[in-house]
């Protein structure tokens, strides 16, 4: 190597050393905490919220970045976010010019509380009126974003419902936002949450890859533990247009019927395993009830289930002579499944059956299958069979107006014709059974159905009430 090349290498090496020394000296002498009030003011002004950094801020090397501890964000209604630690990765050269160019962001143990008041206003919304003119958002990008050990609580004060997400993590890459945050965000990554709690509903170990592109957020290969079983499916939220569209497909194999009943706040009545399939779509439009736009299918199936509170065959075998049993009580809970439980508004069938019947029985085959259109569930195949009897249900449940729409329950013969049938109509809260009784009839003195129950089999001919998948017992 000639002397000229050695000189050039010496100069370059010396320059590199000088640069490293300059960075070290800058980091050691630069007091970022002196900028804390200005950072808090800028963050507060940008969000319209009160942002405070109670802990220390510091610079770090390898990789170069900025961190802050004990951050709190509040509004007039109280605290919205607390954060144990915030880590920002940054490029060095812009920082030497007193400019901050963030390349990565990590939130450690964020605790988020979102409250929706009775008027529909969220606690993070500013009370000040914003300009009607929309300002285009500045383009923003991150190579990497991480959120670890987070907690999110959502409270709807109008309904009193509370939803909690515990120990959730989010890791995404290539985050890019230009203009509208929702419609123009793009990224890929993964999401997991250890616990989701909403009243009696417990969901654990939620995991899914996540992707956002052109206003569509997708959870692909979604898995979770629910109703004592593993569930898998996918979900999307499409906000690319003015009216958002939400879709979910879910399959739960070998769910525990006892766990399913617990989630609806009822005591165990049925035991055993079954399969649940749901494919639902909801469209957001203005202020209308989201339920009114629900379309899709729902089904729940199970074989060889145990009835803990009654011997159903004994009760049904005596029905033709006594008629002292309410068929809609049987159909609404046992056949309508979870949708029936919603309609029954927490009616405690387990207690009532135990008091009036007792014993234990078996359901050899069970199907509860529905088509849902504009929030109205239509029973397409709802029936059950015991060792000696078969019962079916037809009609609709209006989940929007909370009303029964011509729901009929029938005790069948071997041709699928109704030997006895009974109907229920009216609101979920105050229904009418055959225009005489209420859903809670079993809790009252048992009435005599002899005058109302009718045979529909005459001369060997009949109108088929049910021709679904549940077979007549031999």
Quickly list DSSP for 354-412: HHHTBS-EEEEEEEEEEEEETTEEEEEEEEEE-SS-EEEEEEEEETTTTEEEEEEEEEE
Residue 82: band (very low, low, confident or very high) from pLDDT cuts 50, 70, 90? very high
Residue 239: band (very low, low, confident or very high) from pLDDT cuts 50, 70, 90? confident
Q: Is residue 214 part of a domain?
A: no
Contacts of 226 (CB under 8 A, 6+ apart): 202, 203, 204, 252, 255
Count of domains observed in the chain: 1
Residue 250: band (very low, low, confident or very high) from pLDDT cuts 50, 70, 90? very high
List own/partner pairs for 53-61 with CB under 8 A and 24 or more apart.
Answer: 57/32, 57/33, 58/32, 59/27, 59/30, 59/32, 61/27
Q: Is residue 331 part of a domain?
A: yes
Q: Is residue 33 part of a domain?
A: no
What distances in angstroms separate CA 223 from CA 107, 152, 169, 173, one per listed residue?
24, 20, 15, 21
For the stretch 137-173, pLDDT in tens is 556 788 899 999 999 999 988 888 899 999 999 999 9
- What would the mean pLDDT of 323-343 be, rounded to a whole number? 58
- Look at residue 322 in the predicted model and tell me its pLDDT: 52
Q: Is residue 205 part of a domain?
A: no
Q: Is residue 12 part of a domain?
A: no
Q: Is residue 202 part of a domain?
A: no
- Look at residue 361 in the predicted model and tell me its pLDDT: 84
The answer to whether the CB of 447 falls within 8 A of the CB of 399 is: no
Phi first, then psi, for residue 292 (nearest 5°) are -70, -10
What distances in angstroms separate CA 69 from CA 62, 108, 269, 361, one per listed residue?
19, 9, 51, 60
Displacement of CA 339 from its chain's centroid (Å): 16
% of the chain residues with pLDDT over 90: 35
- What would the mean pLDDT of 340-362 be, rounded to a whole number? 54
- Look at residue 312 in the predicted model and tell me its pLDDT: 78
The answer to whether the CB of 305 falls within 8 A of the CB of 365 is: no
Q: Which domain holds residue 234?
A: 227-474
Mean pLDDT over each residue of the chain, to the nearest integer: 78
- Nearest partner of 383 among 458, 301, 326, 308, judged by Cα: 301
Q: Give this prediction's pTM.
A: 0.77
The answer to whether the CB of 223 falls within 8 A of the CB of 249 is: no
CA-CA distance, 277 to 380, in Å (whole number)?
14
- Look at residue 268 in the predicted model and tell me its pLDDT: 73
CA-CA distance, 313 to 47, in Å (whole number)?
65
For the stretch 184-226, pLDDT in tens is 788 999 999 999 998 878 999 999 999 999 889 999 899 999 9
Q: For residues 339 and 242, which has the higher predicted lDDT (pLDDT)?
A: 242
- Please tell me the least confidently modeled range out of 84-88, 233-237, 333-337: 333-337
- Look at residue 168 in the predicted model and tell me its pLDDT: 94
CA 360, 361, 367, 370 dihedral sign is: negative
Q: Is the pLDDT of residue 22 over 80?
A: no
Q: For residues 351 and 84, which has the higher predicted lDDT (pLDDT)?
A: 84
For the stretch 427-441, pLDDT in tens is 877 777 763 333 333
- How many Å is the maximal CA-CA distance in the chain? 118
Q: Between β-strands 418-427 and 403-412, what pairing exists: parallel, antiparallel or unpaired? A: antiparallel
Q: Is residue 4 part of a domain?
A: no
Q: Is residue 22 part of a domain?
A: no
- What would the mean pLDDT of 114-132 be, rounded to a whole number? 72
Q: Is the pLDDT of residue 394 over 70?
A: yes
Q: Between β-strands 201-213 and 140-156, what pairing exists: parallel, antiparallel or unpaired? A: unpaired
- Look at residue 307 in the predicted model and tell me its pLDDT: 84
- Look at residue 141 in the predicted model and tell me its pLDDT: 81
The answer to whether the CB of 463 falls within 8 A of the CB of 417 is: yes
Question: Any idea what the Cα angle at residue 393 is, between residues 392 and 394, rounded to 5°?
Answer: 130
């Amino acid at each position: 190597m000639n002397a000229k090349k050695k000189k050039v290498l010496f100069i370059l090496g010396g320059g590199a050393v000088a640069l490293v020394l300059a960075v070290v000296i800058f980091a050691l002498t630069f007091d970022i905490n002196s900028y804390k009030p200005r950072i808090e003011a800028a963050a507060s002004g940008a969000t319209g919220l009160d942002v405070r950094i109670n802990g220390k801020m510091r610079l770090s090397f390898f990789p170069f970045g900025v961190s802050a501890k004990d951050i709190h964000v509040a509004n007039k209604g109280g605290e919205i976010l607390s954060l144990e630690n915030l880590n920002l990765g940054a490029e060095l050269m812009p920082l030497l010019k007193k400019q901050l160019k963030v390349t990565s962001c990590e939130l450690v143990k964020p605790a988020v509380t979102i409250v929706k008041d009775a008027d529909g206003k969220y606690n993070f919304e500013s009370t000040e009126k914003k300009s009607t003119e929309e300002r285009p958002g500045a383009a923003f990008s991150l190579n990497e974003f991480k959120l670890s050990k987070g907690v999110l609580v959502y409270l709807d004060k109008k309904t009193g419902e509370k939803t909690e997400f515990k120990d959730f993590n989010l890791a995404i890459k290539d985050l890019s936002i230009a203009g509208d945050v929702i419609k123009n965000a793009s990224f890929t990554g993964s999401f997991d949450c250890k616990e989701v709690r909403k009243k009696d509903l417990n969901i654990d170990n939620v995991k899914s890859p996540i992707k956002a592109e052109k206003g569509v957020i997708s959870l692909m290969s979604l898995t979770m533990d629910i109703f004592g079983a593993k569930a898998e499916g996918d979900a999307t939220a499409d906000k690319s247009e003015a009216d958002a569209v939400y879709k979910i497909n879910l399959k739960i194999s070998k769910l525990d019927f006892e766990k399913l009943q617990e989630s609806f706040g009822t005591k165990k009545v049925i035991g055993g395993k079954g399969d649940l399939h749901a494919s639902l779509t909801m469209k957001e439009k203005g202020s209308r009830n989201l339920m009114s736009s629900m379309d899709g299918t729902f089904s729940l199936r199970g074989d060889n289930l145990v009835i803990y509170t009654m011997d159903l065959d004994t009760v049904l075998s005596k029905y033709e002579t006594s008629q002292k049993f309410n068929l809609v009580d049987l159909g609404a809970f046992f056949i309508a499944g979870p949708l029936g439980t919603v309609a029954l508004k927490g009616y405690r069938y387990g207690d009532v059956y135990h008091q009036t019947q007792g014993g234990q029985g078996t359901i050899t085959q069970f199907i509860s299958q529905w088509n849902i259109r504009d929030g109205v569930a239509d029973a397409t195949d709802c029936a059950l069979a015991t060792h000696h009897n078969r019962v079916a249900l037809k009609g609709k449940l209006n989940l929007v107006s909370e009303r029964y729409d011509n729901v009929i329950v029938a005790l069948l013969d071997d041709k699928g014709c109704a030997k006895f049938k009974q109907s229920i109509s009216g609101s979920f809260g105050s229904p009418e059974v055959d225009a005489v009784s209420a859903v809670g009839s079993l809790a009252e003195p048992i009435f005599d159905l002899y005058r109302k129950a009718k045979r529909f089999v005459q001369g060997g001919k009949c109108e088929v009430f049910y021709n679904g998948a549940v077979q007549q017992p031999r």
